[in-house]
Amino acid sequence: MDTMNAFILGEAHKNCEAMVFDWDKAARMIKESGFKDASAGLQGDWEWTGGSIFVDGKPDLKSYTYLSSTWATPEIEIDGETFDCYLMQSETEWGHHTKWPESALKIIQNNE
């Protein structure tokens, strides 16, 4: 998405509640799928927001992602398929800065 369209969408939705990536749902999806790699990003804006979240069977804590928006839906991509994966901001303490909270790590590590 180009900068102008991103700005317009941001302005149009600036008073809306943010959608935030659901790390627990993502962890369950990854675990159930058995796949060793997964990525996450914002619908329509993966070029600027997306990145790896699970690499070679382990949580990726280093790759950049920006996973919260008032207008773009947070998504997860596993094995070439993309799925919506979010909570509303009022339902969680997570934000765009969140990367593999303890609850999600416990799911991945079978300690849920």
Per-residue pLDDT tens over the stretch 20-44? 999 999 999 999 999 999 999 999 9
Q: Global pTM?
A: 0.86
Indicate if the pLDDT at residue 5 is higher than 80.
no
pLDDT at position 64, please?
94
Beta-carbon contacts of residue 26 (< 8 Å; ≥ 6 apart): 38, 40, 53, 76, 85, 104
In whole angstroms, what is the distance from residue 20 CA to residue 92 CA? Answer: 8
Q: pLDDT for 50-109, tens place per residue?
A: 999 999 999 999 999 999 999 999 999 999 999 999 999 999 999 989 999 999 999 999
